Protein backbone atom coordinates (compact mmCIF):
# COMPACT_ATOMS: atom_id res chain seq x y z
CA UNK A 1 0.00 0.00 0.00
CA UNK A 2 1.53 3.30 -1.07
CA UNK A 3 1.71 6.11 1.42
CA UNK A 4 1.43 9.53 -0.15
CA UNK A 5 4.10 11.98 0.99
CA UNK A 6 3.55 15.72 0.97
CA UNK A 7 6.35 18.03 -0.13
CA UNK A 8 6.93 21.29 1.68
CA UNK A 9 6.41 24.28 -0.63
CA UNK A 10 7.00 28.02 -0.26
CA UNK A 11 3.81 29.76 0.66
CA UNK A 12 3.91 32.88 -1.50
CA UNK A 13 0.60 34.04 -0.09
CA UNK A 14 1.95 34.47 3.44
CA UNK A 15 1.85 38.05 4.80
CA UNK A 16 5.08 40.05 4.83
CA UNK A 17 6.97 39.67 8.12
CA UNK A 18 8.09 42.88 9.77
CA UNK A 19 11.67 42.13 10.74
CA UNK A 20 11.68 45.04 13.05
CA UNK A 21 9.34 43.23 15.42
CA UNK A 22 11.87 40.39 16.05
CA UNK A 23 14.01 40.26 19.16
CA UNK A 24 17.51 38.85 19.27
CA UNK A 25 16.24 35.47 20.62
CA UNK A 26 13.83 34.75 17.75
CA UNK A 27 16.29 33.00 15.40
CA UNK A 28 17.18 30.46 18.11
CA UNK A 29 13.50 29.82 18.82
CA UNK A 30 12.75 29.38 15.14
CA UNK A 31 15.58 26.87 14.85
CA UNK A 32 14.12 24.85 17.73
CA UNK A 33 10.66 24.94 16.16
CA UNK A 34 12.10 23.81 12.84
CA UNK A 35 13.93 20.89 14.47
CA UNK A 36 10.76 19.95 16.32
CA UNK A 37 8.80 19.96 13.06
CA UNK A 38 11.39 17.75 11.39
CA UNK A 39 11.31 15.25 14.26
CA UNK A 40 7.50 15.33 14.25
CA UNK A 41 7.42 14.72 10.49
CA UNK A 42 9.81 11.78 10.82
CA UNK A 43 7.71 10.29 13.60
CA UNK A 44 4.51 10.71 11.60
CA UNK A 45 6.13 9.13 8.52
CA UNK A 46 7.34 6.20 10.62
CA UNK A 47 4.00 5.56 12.25
CA UNK A 48 2.13 5.99 8.99
CA UNK A 49 4.37 3.25 7.60
CA UNK A 50 3.33 1.02 10.45
CA UNK A 51 -0.30 1.89 9.94
CA UNK A 52 -0.15 1.32 6.20
CA UNK A 53 1.23 -2.18 6.83
CA UNK A 54 -1.73 -2.98 9.08
CA UNK A 55 0.62 -3.55 12.02
CA UNK A 56 -0.48 -6.00 14.68
CA UNK A 57 1.03 -3.56 17.14
CA UNK A 58 -1.41 -0.89 15.98
CA UNK A 59 -4.36 -3.25 16.34
CA UNK A 60 -3.23 -4.25 19.82
CA UNK A 61 -2.91 -0.61 20.82
CA UNK A 62 -6.39 0.15 19.50
CA UNK A 63 -7.86 -2.73 21.50
CA UNK A 64 -6.13 -1.56 24.67
CA UNK A 65 -7.67 1.89 24.14
CA UNK A 66 -11.18 0.43 23.93
CA UNK A 67 -11.60 -0.23 20.20
CA UNK A 68 -14.72 -2.34 19.72
CA UNK A 69 -14.01 -5.11 17.23
CA UNK A 70 -16.51 -5.98 14.52
CA UNK A 71 -17.17 -9.69 14.10
CA UNK A 72 -18.42 -11.63 11.09
CA UNK A 73 -19.52 -15.26 10.90
CA UNK A 74 -19.80 -17.91 8.18
CA UNK A 75 -20.96 -21.52 8.15
CA UNK A 76 -19.68 -23.87 5.45
CA UNK A 77 -20.72 -27.45 4.73
CA UNK A 78 -18.16 -29.61 2.94
CA UNK A 79 -20.26 -32.42 1.47
CA UNK A 80 -17.42 -34.70 0.43
CA UNK A 81 -17.45 -38.15 -1.08
CA UNK A 82 -16.42 -39.92 2.13
CA UNK A 83 -18.27 -37.74 4.64
CA UNK A 84 -19.86 -34.37 5.38
CA UNK A 85 -18.26 -31.70 7.55
CA UNK A 86 -19.49 -28.46 9.07
CA UNK A 87 -16.98 -25.66 9.59
CA UNK A 88 -18.31 -22.60 11.38
CA UNK A 89 -16.06 -19.53 11.55
CA UNK A 90 -15.88 -16.33 13.56
CA UNK A 91 -13.78 -13.55 12.03
CA UNK A 92 -12.68 -10.28 13.54
CA UNK A 93 -12.05 -7.04 11.66
CA UNK A 94 -8.73 -5.62 12.95
CA UNK A 95 -8.24 -1.89 13.44
CA UNK A 96 -6.72 -0.23 10.37
CA UNK A 97 -5.97 3.32 9.26
CA UNK A 98 -5.66 2.99 5.51
CA UNK A 99 -7.53 0.59 3.25
CA UNK A 100 -9.09 -2.77 4.03
CA UNK A 101 -7.08 -5.09 6.25
CA UNK A 102 -7.15 -8.85 6.30
CA UNK A 103 -9.60 -10.62 8.59
CA UNK A 104 -8.43 -12.37 11.74
CA UNK A 105 -9.80 -15.86 12.36
CA UNK A 106 -10.59 -15.94 16.07
CA UNK A 107 -12.72 -19.08 16.48
CA UNK A 108 -14.04 -22.07 14.58
CA UNK A 109 -16.04 -25.23 15.08
CA UNK A 110 -15.54 -28.48 13.21
CA UNK A 111 -17.71 -31.58 13.16
CA UNK A 112 -18.14 -34.39 10.66
CA UNK A 113 -20.44 -37.29 9.90
CA UNK A 114 -20.25 -40.35 7.69
CA UNK A 115 -21.16 -41.55 5.13
CA UNK A 116 -21.03 -38.76 2.55
CA UNK A 117 -24.08 -37.04 1.09
CA UNK A 118 -23.76 -39.01 -2.15
CA UNK A 119 -24.52 -42.19 -0.19
CA UNK A 120 -28.12 -40.94 0.17
CA UNK A 121 -28.75 -40.76 -3.58
CA UNK A 122 -31.84 -42.93 -3.15
CA UNK A 123 -33.06 -41.15 -0.02
CA UNK A 124 -32.36 -37.41 -0.52
CA UNK A 125 -34.53 -36.29 2.43
CA UNK A 126 -32.46 -38.39 4.81
CA UNK A 127 -29.30 -37.03 3.26
CA UNK A 128 -30.56 -33.48 3.79
CA UNK A 129 -31.26 -34.23 7.44
CA UNK A 130 -27.63 -35.25 7.99
CA UNK A 131 -26.62 -31.77 6.81
CA UNK A 132 -29.19 -30.06 9.05
CA UNK A 133 -27.95 -31.97 12.10
CA UNK A 134 -24.38 -30.86 11.45
CA UNK A 135 -25.45 -27.21 11.15
CA UNK A 136 -27.38 -27.41 14.41
CA UNK A 137 -24.27 -28.67 16.20
CA UNK A 138 -22.44 -25.52 15.12
CA UNK A 139 -25.22 -23.05 16.05
CA UNK A 140 -23.59 -21.99 19.31
CA UNK A 141 -20.80 -20.15 17.48
CA UNK A 142 -23.13 -17.72 15.70
CA UNK A 143 -25.30 -15.50 17.94
CA UNK A 144 -29.02 -15.79 17.05
CA UNK A 145 -29.29 -12.08 16.18
CA UNK A 146 -26.48 -12.45 13.62
CA UNK A 147 -27.69 -15.53 11.78
CA UNK A 148 -29.79 -13.63 9.24
CA UNK A 149 -26.59 -11.92 8.09
CA UNK A 150 -24.40 -15.03 8.31
CA UNK A 151 -23.76 -16.83 5.01
CA UNK A 152 -24.58 -20.54 5.09
CA UNK A 153 -23.01 -22.32 2.14
CA UNK A 154 -23.15 -26.00 1.15
CA UNK A 155 -20.67 -27.25 -1.42
CA UNK A 156 -20.66 -30.84 -2.63
CA UNK A 157 -17.48 -32.21 -4.18
CA UNK A 158 -16.50 -35.27 -6.20
CA UNK A 159 -19.06 -37.60 -4.60
CA UNK A 160 -21.96 -35.75 -6.25
CA UNK A 161 -19.98 -35.11 -9.45
CA UNK A 162 -19.80 -38.87 -9.93
CA UNK A 163 -23.56 -39.40 -9.46
CA UNK A 164 -26.08 -39.33 -12.31
CA UNK A 165 -27.18 -35.73 -12.85
CA UNK A 166 -30.79 -36.31 -11.75
CA UNK A 167 -29.75 -38.03 -8.52
CA UNK A 168 -27.31 -35.24 -7.69
CA UNK A 169 -29.95 -32.57 -8.35
CA UNK A 170 -32.48 -34.27 -6.08
CA UNK A 171 -29.95 -34.19 -3.25
CA UNK A 172 -29.14 -30.53 -3.89
CA UNK A 173 -32.82 -29.55 -3.95
CA UNK A 174 -33.56 -31.47 -0.74
CA UNK A 175 -30.66 -29.89 1.12
CA UNK A 176 -31.59 -26.39 -0.12
CA UNK A 177 -35.17 -26.75 1.15
CA UNK A 178 -34.03 -28.07 4.51
CA UNK A 179 -31.42 -25.43 5.31
CA UNK A 180 -33.62 -22.53 4.17
CA UNK A 181 -35.61 -23.00 7.38
CA UNK A 182 -32.66 -22.55 9.75
CA UNK A 183 -32.56 -18.74 9.81
CA UNK A 184 -29.23 -18.17 8.05
CA UNK A 185 -28.49 -16.19 4.92
CA UNK A 186 -28.70 -18.80 2.15
CA UNK A 187 -28.06 -17.41 -1.32
CA UNK A 188 -29.91 -18.76 -4.39
CA UNK A 189 -26.77 -20.75 -5.22
CA UNK A 190 -26.08 -21.58 -1.59
CA UNK A 191 -26.22 -25.31 -2.30
CA UNK A 192 -24.43 -26.64 -5.34
CA UNK A 193 -21.70 -28.89 -6.64
CA UNK A 194 -18.37 -27.15 -6.28
CA UNK A 195 -16.20 -26.68 -9.31
CA UNK A 196 -12.91 -28.53 -8.95
CA UNK A 197 -10.96 -25.34 -9.68
CA UNK A 198 -12.69 -23.55 -6.78
CA UNK A 199 -11.80 -26.43 -4.49
CA UNK A 200 -8.14 -26.02 -5.39
CA UNK A 201 -8.12 -22.23 -5.12
CA UNK A 202 -9.85 -22.18 -1.73
CA UNK A 203 -7.52 -24.80 -0.19
CA UNK A 204 -4.60 -22.71 -1.51
CA UNK A 205 -6.10 -19.65 0.20
CA UNK A 206 -6.53 -21.60 3.42
CA UNK A 207 -3.01 -22.97 3.73
CA UNK A 208 -1.40 -19.64 2.86
CA UNK A 209 -3.74 -17.61 5.08
CA UNK A 210 -2.98 -19.81 8.08
CA UNK A 211 0.74 -19.34 7.46
CA UNK A 212 0.44 -15.58 6.81
CA UNK A 213 1.97 -16.04 3.36
CA UNK A 214 -0.71 -14.57 1.12
CA UNK A 215 1.47 -11.54 0.43
CA UNK A 216 4.79 -13.43 0.37
CA UNK A 217 6.30 -16.61 -1.02
CA UNK A 218 3.16 -18.72 -1.24
CA UNK A 219 3.07 -22.49 -0.92
CA UNK A 220 1.75 -24.95 -3.48
CA UNK A 221 -1.33 -26.77 -2.18
CA UNK A 222 -2.06 -30.44 -2.89
CA UNK A 223 -5.44 -31.70 -1.73
CA UNK A 224 -6.52 -35.35 -1.96
CA UNK A 225 -10.15 -36.26 -1.41
CA UNK A 226 -12.00 -39.50 -1.93
CA UNK A 227 -13.16 -38.83 -5.50
CA UNK A 228 -10.80 -36.15 -6.82
CA UNK A 229 -7.48 -34.43 -6.20
CA UNK A 230 -6.43 -30.81 -6.75
CA UNK A 231 -3.06 -29.15 -7.32
CA UNK A 232 -2.72 -25.35 -7.03
CA UNK A 233 0.23 -22.97 -7.01
CA UNK A 234 1.33 -19.49 -7.97
CA UNK A 235 2.75 -18.78 -11.43
CA UNK A 236 5.28 -16.18 -12.45
CA UNK A 237 4.81 -14.32 -15.71
CA UNK A 238 7.45 -16.50 -17.33
CA UNK A 239 5.71 -19.72 -16.25
CA UNK A 240 2.28 -18.93 -17.66
CA UNK A 241 3.03 -20.12 -21.18
CA UNK A 242 3.76 -23.63 -19.85
CA UNK A 243 0.24 -24.15 -18.53
CA UNK A 244 -3.21 -24.30 -20.15
CA UNK A 245 -4.92 -20.91 -20.01
CA UNK A 246 -8.13 -22.61 -18.84
CA UNK A 247 -6.29 -23.62 -15.64
CA UNK A 248 -5.02 -20.12 -14.85
CA UNK A 249 -6.93 -17.84 -12.48
CA UNK A 250 -6.16 -14.32 -11.32
CA UNK A 251 -7.05 -14.03 -7.64
CA UNK A 252 -7.01 -11.09 -5.19
CA UNK A 253 -4.22 -11.90 -2.77
CA UNK A 254 -2.06 -8.92 -1.88
CA UNK A 255 -1.41 -7.75 -5.41
CA UNK A 256 -3.43 -9.77 -7.90
CA UNK A 257 -1.58 -12.99 -8.67
CA UNK A 258 -2.05 -15.82 -11.15
CA UNK A 259 -2.67 -19.33 -9.90
CA UNK A 260 -2.47 -22.59 -11.77
CA UNK A 261 -5.06 -25.05 -10.49
CA UNK A 262 -6.28 -28.36 -11.86
CA UNK A 263 -8.75 -30.87 -10.47
CA UNK A 264 -8.49 -34.54 -11.44
CA UNK A 265 -11.74 -36.46 -11.17
CA UNK A 266 -11.40 -40.19 -10.42
CA UNK A 267 -7.96 -39.63 -8.90
CA UNK A 268 -9.15 -39.20 -5.34
CA UNK A 269 -7.84 -41.93 -3.05
CA UNK A 270 -11.00 -44.06 -2.99
CA UNK A 271 -11.76 -43.56 -6.67
CA UNK A 272 -8.20 -44.55 -7.58
CA UNK A 273 -8.35 -47.62 -5.36
CA UNK A 274 -11.54 -48.67 -7.11
CA UNK A 275 -10.04 -47.88 -10.52
CA UNK A 276 -6.98 -50.05 -9.90
CA UNK A 277 -9.12 -52.92 -8.65
CA UNK A 278 -11.30 -52.61 -11.73
CA UNK A 279 -8.24 -52.54 -13.98
CA UNK A 280 -7.20 -55.90 -12.54
CA UNK A 281 -10.74 -57.29 -12.65
CA UNK A 282 -12.51 -56.11 -15.82
CA UNK A 283 -16.25 -56.51 -16.12
CA UNK A 284 -19.05 -55.88 -13.68
CA UNK A 285 -18.06 -58.25 -10.90
CA UNK A 286 -18.24 -56.98 -7.34
CA UNK A 287 -15.47 -59.37 -6.27
CA UNK A 288 -11.91 -58.13 -6.73
CA UNK A 289 -8.54 -59.85 -6.48
CA UNK A 290 -5.52 -57.54 -6.32
CA UNK A 291 -1.75 -57.97 -6.25
CA UNK A 292 -1.67 -54.68 -4.27
CA UNK A 293 -3.39 -56.43 -1.34
CA UNK A 294 -1.59 -58.94 0.88
CA UNK A 295 -2.74 -62.55 0.28
CA UNK A 296 -3.65 -62.90 3.95
CA UNK A 297 -6.56 -60.56 3.20
CA UNK A 298 -9.42 -62.68 1.90
CA UNK A 299 -12.97 -61.57 1.19
CA UNK A 300 -12.58 -58.20 2.86
CA UNK A 301 -15.79 -56.12 2.54
CA UNK A 302 -15.40 -52.65 1.05
CA UNK A 303 -18.02 -50.09 0.02
CA UNK A 304 -17.47 -47.49 -2.68
CA UNK A 305 -20.04 -45.25 -4.38
CA UNK A 306 -22.97 -47.08 -2.75
CA UNK A 307 -21.79 -50.46 -4.02
CA UNK A 308 -20.54 -53.27 -1.77
CA UNK A 309 -17.44 -55.14 -2.91
CA UNK A 310 -15.44 -58.13 -1.72
CA UNK A 311 -11.66 -57.78 -2.04
CA UNK A 312 -8.98 -60.46 -1.71
CA UNK A 313 -5.20 -60.41 -2.08
CA UNK A 314 -3.79 -62.22 -5.13
CA UNK A 315 -1.57 -65.26 -4.46
CA UNK A 316 2.20 -64.67 -4.46
CA UNK A 317 5.05 -67.08 -5.04
CA UNK A 318 6.77 -68.07 -1.80
CA UNK A 319 9.76 -65.88 -1.03
CA UNK A 320 8.78 -63.06 -3.39
CA UNK A 321 11.13 -60.16 -2.72
CA UNK A 322 9.79 -56.96 -1.23
CA UNK A 323 10.98 -54.92 -4.23
CA UNK A 324 9.24 -57.26 -6.68
CA UNK A 325 5.89 -56.92 -4.90
CA UNK A 326 6.21 -53.14 -4.78
CA UNK A 327 7.31 -52.87 -8.41
CA UNK A 328 4.39 -54.99 -9.63
CA UNK A 329 1.86 -52.91 -7.69
CA UNK A 330 3.48 -49.62 -8.72
CA UNK A 331 3.42 -50.60 -12.39
CA UNK A 332 -0.30 -51.30 -12.15
CA UNK A 333 -1.14 -48.15 -10.19
CA UNK A 334 1.01 -45.99 -12.45
CA UNK A 335 -0.81 -47.34 -15.50
CA UNK A 336 -4.16 -46.36 -14.00
CA UNK A 337 -2.95 -42.89 -12.96
CA UNK A 338 -1.43 -41.94 -16.31
CA UNK A 339 -4.48 -43.24 -18.17
CA UNK A 340 -6.81 -41.16 -15.98
CA UNK A 341 -4.93 -37.85 -16.18
CA UNK A 342 -6.71 -35.41 -18.48
CA UNK A 343 -3.61 -33.19 -18.52
CA UNK A 344 -0.09 -34.14 -17.48
CA UNK A 345 2.13 -31.34 -16.15
CA UNK A 346 5.65 -31.15 -17.51
CA UNK A 347 7.28 -29.81 -14.35
CA UNK A 348 6.83 -30.09 -10.57
CA UNK A 349 4.85 -27.54 -8.54
CA UNK A 350 6.60 -24.24 -8.00
CA UNK A 351 7.72 -23.27 -4.50
CA UNK A 352 7.42 -25.20 -1.25
CA UNK A 353 4.75 -27.90 -1.18
CA UNK A 354 1.97 -28.40 1.37
CA UNK A 355 -0.32 -31.44 1.20
CA UNK A 356 -3.57 -32.16 3.01
CA UNK A 357 -6.44 -34.60 3.55
CA UNK A 358 -5.68 -38.20 2.49
CA UNK A 359 -2.01 -37.36 1.90
CA UNK A 360 -1.92 -36.71 5.65
CA UNK A 361 -4.13 -39.62 6.70
CA UNK A 362 -2.23 -42.27 4.75
CA UNK A 363 1.11 -41.04 6.10
CA UNK A 364 -0.25 -40.95 9.67
CA UNK A 365 -1.64 -44.50 9.39
CA UNK A 366 1.76 -45.69 8.17
CA UNK A 367 3.54 -44.06 11.13
CA UNK A 368 5.43 -41.63 8.88
CA UNK A 369 4.26 -38.56 10.81
CA UNK A 370 2.77 -37.75 14.18
CA UNK A 371 -0.97 -38.21 13.91
CA UNK A 372 -1.64 -34.98 15.79
CA UNK A 373 1.06 -32.58 14.64
CA UNK A 374 1.87 -33.80 11.12
CA UNK A 375 5.35 -33.45 9.71
CA UNK A 376 7.46 -33.43 6.58
CA UNK A 377 7.72 -36.35 4.17
CA UNK A 378 8.94 -37.00 0.64
CA UNK A 379 8.20 -39.27 -2.29
CA UNK A 380 11.09 -41.45 -1.14
CA UNK A 381 9.55 -41.72 2.34
CA UNK A 382 6.20 -42.80 0.88
CA UNK A 383 8.04 -45.35 -1.29
CA UNK A 384 9.90 -46.86 1.67
CA UNK A 385 6.64 -47.11 3.62
CA UNK A 386 4.93 -48.69 0.60
CA UNK A 387 7.65 -51.31 0.19
CA UNK A 388 7.23 -52.29 3.82
CA UNK A 389 3.42 -52.31 3.67
CA UNK A 390 3.28 -54.41 0.47
CA UNK A 391 5.04 -57.30 2.20
CA UNK A 392 3.43 -56.95 5.62
CA UNK A 393 0.51 -59.12 6.70
CA UNK A 394 -1.37 -56.31 8.42
CA UNK A 395 -5.01 -57.32 8.59
CA UNK A 396 -5.90 -54.08 10.39
CA UNK A 397 -4.79 -51.99 7.39
CA UNK A 398 -5.74 -54.04 4.32
CA UNK A 399 -5.35 -51.07 1.93
CA UNK A 400 -1.99 -49.80 3.20
CA UNK A 401 0.00 -51.18 0.26
CA UNK A 402 -2.19 -49.86 -2.55
CA UNK A 403 -2.76 -46.49 -0.86
CA UNK A 404 0.94 -45.84 -0.20
CA UNK A 405 1.89 -46.92 -3.71
CA UNK A 406 -0.75 -44.53 -5.00
CA UNK A 407 0.88 -41.67 -3.08
CA UNK A 408 4.13 -42.37 -4.96
CA UNK A 409 2.43 -42.67 -8.35
CA UNK A 410 0.39 -39.49 -7.93
CA UNK A 411 3.20 -37.35 -6.54
CA UNK A 412 6.03 -38.53 -8.76
CA UNK A 413 4.52 -39.98 -11.92
CA UNK A 414 1.70 -37.45 -12.26
CA UNK A 415 2.91 -34.30 -10.46
CA UNK A 416 6.63 -34.78 -11.28
CA UNK A 417 7.79 -34.12 -7.71
CA UNK A 418 11.41 -35.10 -7.11
CA UNK A 419 12.31 -38.01 -4.83
CA UNK A 420 13.59 -35.97 -1.89
CA UNK A 421 11.57 -32.77 -2.27
CA UNK A 422 10.16 -31.89 1.19
CA UNK A 423 6.37 -32.15 1.39
CA UNK A 424 4.78 -30.59 4.48
CA UNK A 425 1.67 -32.40 5.68
CA UNK A 426 -1.00 -30.45 7.55
CA UNK A 427 -4.25 -31.32 9.24
CA UNK A 428 -4.35 -28.26 11.49
CA UNK A 429 -2.36 -25.03 11.62
CA UNK A 430 -2.37 -23.11 14.91
CA UNK A 431 -5.38 -25.16 15.98
CA UNK A 432 -7.40 -24.45 12.81
CA UNK A 433 -8.59 -27.16 10.44
CA UNK A 434 -6.93 -27.07 7.04
CA UNK A 435 -9.90 -27.14 4.68
CA UNK A 436 -10.96 -25.31 1.53
CA UNK A 437 -13.97 -24.23 3.61
CA UNK A 438 -11.85 -21.57 5.35
CA UNK A 439 -10.79 -20.08 2.01
CA UNK A 440 -14.41 -19.97 0.88
CA UNK A 441 -15.61 -18.42 4.16
CA UNK A 442 -12.81 -15.85 4.16
CA UNK A 443 -13.37 -14.67 0.59
CA UNK A 444 -17.16 -14.61 1.05
CA UNK A 445 -16.95 -12.40 4.14
CA UNK A 446 -14.28 -10.15 2.61
CA UNK A 447 -16.41 -9.60 -0.49
CA UNK A 448 -19.37 -8.61 1.67
CA UNK A 449 -17.27 -6.13 3.64
CA UNK A 450 -15.97 -4.52 0.47
CA UNK A 451 -19.44 -4.25 -1.07
CA UNK A 452 -21.13 -2.93 2.10
CA UNK A 453 -20.91 0.89 2.17
Catalytic residue status for 125: no
- Taking the CB of residue 147, how many other CB atoms lie within 10 A of it? 16
Kind plus residue range of the DSSP H or E element containing 222 = strand 220-224
List the beta bridge partners of residue 288: 311
- The one catalytic residue in 108, 199, 280, 344 is 199
Does the annotation flag 5 for ligand binding? no
Does the annotation flag 174 for ligand binding? no
**Distance, CA of 171 to CA of 163 (rounded, Å):** 10
For 290, the 3-state DSSP assignment is strand
For residue 242, give the DSSP letter: G
For 311, the 3-state DSSP assignment is strand
Radius of gyration of the chain (CA): 28
C-alpha closest to that of 424 among 385, 374, 384, 381: 374
**Distance, CA of 35 to CA of 28 (rounded, Å):** 11
Per-residue exposure over 235-249, b if at least 16 CB sit within 10 Å of its own CB, e if not = beeeeeeebeeebeb
Contact 401, 273 (CB under 8 A): no
**Distance, CA of 258 to CA of 250 (rounded, Å):** 4
Between CA 119 and CA 342, with CA 232 as vertex, the angle to 5 degrees is 65
Q: Which residues contact 164 (CB under 8 A, 6 or more apart)?
A: none
DSSP states along 1-45: -----PPP---TTSPPP-GGG--TTHHHHHHHHHHHHHHHHHHHH
Between CA 359 and CA 379, with CA 424 as vertex, the angle to 5 degrees is 60
Question: Would you state the torsion angle of the CA atoms of residues 357, 368, 325, 420, taken in this order, to the nearest 10 degrees?
Answer: 90
Handedness of CA 234, 240, 246, 252 (dihedral sign): positive
Contact 320, 388 (CB under 8 A): no
Does the annotation flag 229 for ligand binding? yes
Handedness of CA 202, 203, 207, 210 (dihedral sign): positive
**Residue stretches of the annotated binding site for ATP:** 226-230
Annotated catalytic residues are 199
**Residue stretches of the annotated binding site:** 226-230
Amino acid sequence: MNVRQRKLKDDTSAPHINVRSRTIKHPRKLKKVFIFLIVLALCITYFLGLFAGQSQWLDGLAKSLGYESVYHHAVIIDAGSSGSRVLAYKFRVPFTVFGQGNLDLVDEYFEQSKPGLSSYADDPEKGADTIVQLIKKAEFLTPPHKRKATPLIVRATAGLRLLPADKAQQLIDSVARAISKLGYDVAPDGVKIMDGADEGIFIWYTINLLHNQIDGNTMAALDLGGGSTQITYQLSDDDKENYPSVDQYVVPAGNNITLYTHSYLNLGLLAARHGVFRLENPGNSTEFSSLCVDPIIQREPWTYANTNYIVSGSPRAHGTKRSAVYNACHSLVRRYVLATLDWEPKQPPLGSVAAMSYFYDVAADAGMIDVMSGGTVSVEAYRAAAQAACTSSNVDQPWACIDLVYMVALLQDAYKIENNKPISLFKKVNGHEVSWALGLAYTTVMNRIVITP
